[in-house]
Structure 1
């Protein structure tokens, strides 16, 4: 008997979990291929610590070839799916083109930065969705502090030492919290002239930080940020951005050389190009994660609108917690579709959330129990060590060194600004309209 061809597109939380499940239970029945632009799975919750110099960059990555036995890795980015021919077109890392066939397809293409029609944003802001962006931000922040330290003009010094983060969800809150600790460490070694101190602004149109979480967690995070001097502006956003600063929607002008865009994500435009029903930009699937009319196609993660069986009539939010669990269900249901076992619907139980605020501080509510301070910090880091598919000892070692030794503040020069555009969607799909999905930055749990 010929072996079935299973193709997984994307190795984020959903795709990686699906591949890991299939590598374990389907190796005798199927040939599994994973299509992904990089050779690693990125553990996104640790990215702010990479940007702040707490963790070495590779700590947030897990090798695909090293952790997915019996899985063929193809490096490339999907830019087209032919559902009738059962093929996926892709572009390789060096410009080569290719086509992959499948008998079963798992679409886990994830999401890209959510853009808003704000003048100057695409040209002057940077997102925070991948390792290159984290490395660029770390170098950029370090460079601005170093340039501010030798600036003769007080206004130039203040502008370079001012950092604006838009979006107070998980990502934006953690970036601001970790970034403030980084700049504080930098100026301890080299104080700024003219009495200037680093200034961090966190903006959001919502009435509070972490608006998607319980109010107690939001208050905890707000207190930590306020205690560190981070200016939180709720009900505010950017009206225009230039190379020299931003204009807020209340008319205030802020001189800055740093604008970090963390307003949320939208599904990868690849799913809109399929021409099948969407829910606010996400691919509609049934509770078994299959695409109606195409039982051989499964979708999960940020690109899929999965019915929330715990809340009838709603869809699960775009968070890492759901993507990770959906990936496992998708993998098991692929195996079931090949005649081994029974399909299962996606059901979930909220286990709580954690937000790492840097140092020993965090906000967490494991199993609904609100925690703050060092205890929340210990729970948060413990959760990450358990959830990480690899690198646990190395991550723990970096955390220990961070607690014992001064932070290293140097530029590596690995990533230039032009290499991390805000619009991370494939150029071939850029013309697909954005259907404005639910605002989210993926969550950490």
Structure 2
């Protein structure tokens, strides 16, 4: 087959869903059958569930950033940038490269896996003063910031400054927020032993959430167990509470409390990538409404999956649960990637596609040290057994042997030798808050997408 006439498959996003799809496409299709292109600003797949362990220094950043170019058989073309709009009618994706050049990329089949961004609200000062925990850069920065607060508090003679530097607030009682608070509290607990001028009692961690329970998916018993672990460590947990406003040196809670702090970490959920809004297609709570075959109704060759898609949960539907959609978890994203790849191949070869059906395997929550709660296949575990399951699951889910070796080595070294509490100086004198990392203002409106595509040819800047 002439390479010019090969069908063009464009995959947007290099998360669990996008990379899973690309890898399976490479295995299923001969080089002559299709041209595969991946749009991502970074040529690695981030193992997102282990970000709190990067922030706390248990793992190095490189250990959970799995290179997309490591395989010698890798043949997918990578466009270093982010998709900022899609014209479904013209079958063109508008991309902003990492050098801010805007290009049009035509496709025959498109797989939309742009993931999610941090969900924020119209809270005064939030995006200007809160840190996120969604990217590798944010995790590395938060670690530097937390250690720097100890350094600065140790050097300060002002009691008020010390108090504000030694209080930390995490918003979000889901898995990300709970693990972040747990892991970082252990970091400060262990680090303060090296700061003889700091009273350990001055270090206070606050975990707050507007919901009435932490991690309700775990059930009452395991959720209570997780709360007990955190409270025994001295973490103050406030439920039914959120942030009223945020400033550079204090945070006001909705119950009226004012907490002096220089560290506000926001992990209160995620929303689908703004890219989805550029399609002008039907959505469900911001996620693209797709069929159980992961394709977009009424559009030929358009598939969506992962955090950005509202995928019907056929397993729950079989149990009589109406209008259930798959939760935005890595477990579903990895498996959806394989199904989408199979369905794209089926379309190419004129075969029927198959629906996505997967029964949830359970949940794991690593609270750092020897503490964890897990619910594999409905079995409730706590402590070391839960920790073994949690780390075993994460380790097995890492895509390459090199990544597995790095993570296992990091865990072993941390358990034996502890942490050196080193600051790298990453972006030390530059802003690094929510608004500085996710570029949510870069996307086009559907009208802007159409105007751009009509005004410039494919591949043009």
Pick the TM interval, shorter chain.
over 0.9
* Number of residue pairs aligned between Structure 1 and Structure 2: 432
Partner of residue 434, structure 2: 421
Counterparts of 1:175 and 1:333, CA distance in 2: 37
Question: For 1:184 and 1:419, how far apart are their aligned partners in 2?
Answer: 25
Q: Could you give the per-residue CA deviations for residues 380-423 of structure 1, whole angstroms, max 9, x where no partner exists?
A: 11111100002101110010000110311121012345244347
Segments of structure 1 that go 5 or more residues without pairing to the other structure are 433-445
Instruction: State whether residues 212 and 240 of structure 2, in contact with CA within 8 Å, keep that contact through their aligned partners in structure 1.
Output: yes
1:172 matched to 2:187? The reply is no
CA deviations on 1:204-237 (whole Å, 9 max, x unpaired) are: 0111211232222211211111111111111111
Distance of 2:200 and 2:179 partners within structure 1: 27
- d(CA) in 2 for partners of 1:55 and 1:231? 26
State the distance in 2 between where 1:110 and 1:38 align. 14
Q: Contact (CA 8 Å) 1:80, 1:90: kept in 2 or not?
A: yes
Whole-angstrom CA distance in 2 between matches of 1:359 and 1:137: 19
Taking structure 1 as reference, are residues 120 and 187 closer, same or farther at Cα in structure 2, changes over 3 Å only? same
Question: For residues 340 and 355 of structure 1, do their structure 2 counterparts lie closer, same or farther at Cα, with a shift above 3 Å needed?
Answer: farther
Partner of 1:61: 65
- The residue that corresponds to 1:275 in the other structure is 280
> Are residues 89 and 174 of structure 1, via their aligned partners in 2, closer, same or farther at CA, if it must alter by over 3 Å?
same
TM-score (norm 2): 0.91
More off after superposition, 288-297 vs 421-430: 421-430
TM-score normalised to the size of structure 1? 0.94
Shift in Å, 1:136: 0.7
Equivalent position SS for 1:6 = strand
| Superposed CA offset, 1:271-314 (max 9, x none) | 11111111111111111011011121000011111112223322
Query: 1:14 touches 1:324 (CA, 8 Å); kept in 2?
Result: yes
Are 1:25 and 2:37 an aligned pair? Answer: no
Q: Secondary structure at the match of 1:317?
A: coil
| 1:284 equivalent in alignment to 2:295 | no
Q: Is the 8 A contact 2:114 2:308 kept in 1?
A: yes
1:137 matched to 2:137: no
How far the C-alpha of 1:350 sits from its partner, in A, is 1.2
Check the 8 A contact 1:306/1:316 in 2, yes or no. yes
Tell me the secondary structure at the aligned position of residue 133 of structure 2. Answer: coil
- Structure 2: which 5+ runs fail to align? 447-461
1:16 alignment partner in structure 2: 19
Are the aligned partners of 2:38 and 2:76 in contact in 1 as well (CA < 8 Å)? Answer: yes
Distance, in Å, in 1 between the alignment partners of 2:408 and 2:199 is: 39
Alpha-carbon distance between aligned partners in 1 of 2:396 and 2:157, rounded to the nearest angstrom? 49
Distance 1:419 1:150, change over 3 A: closer
Instruction: For residue 110 of structure 2, give the secondary structure of its aligned residue in structure 1.
Output: strand
The answer on 1:49 being equivalent to 2:63 is no
CA-atom RMSD, angstroms?
A: 1.6
**Contact kept? 1:27, 1:70, Cα under 8 Å:** no
Partner residue in 2 for 1:401: 413
- 1:239 partner SS: strand
SS state of the match for residue 26, structure 2? helix
Shift of 1:195: 6.3
Which of residues 353, 356, 381 in structure 2 aligns to 1:371?
A: 381
Q: Which residue of 1 aligns with 2:299?
A: 294
- For residue 363 of structure 2, what is the aligned residue in structure 1? 353
Partners of 1:287 and 1:306 within 8 A in 2: yes
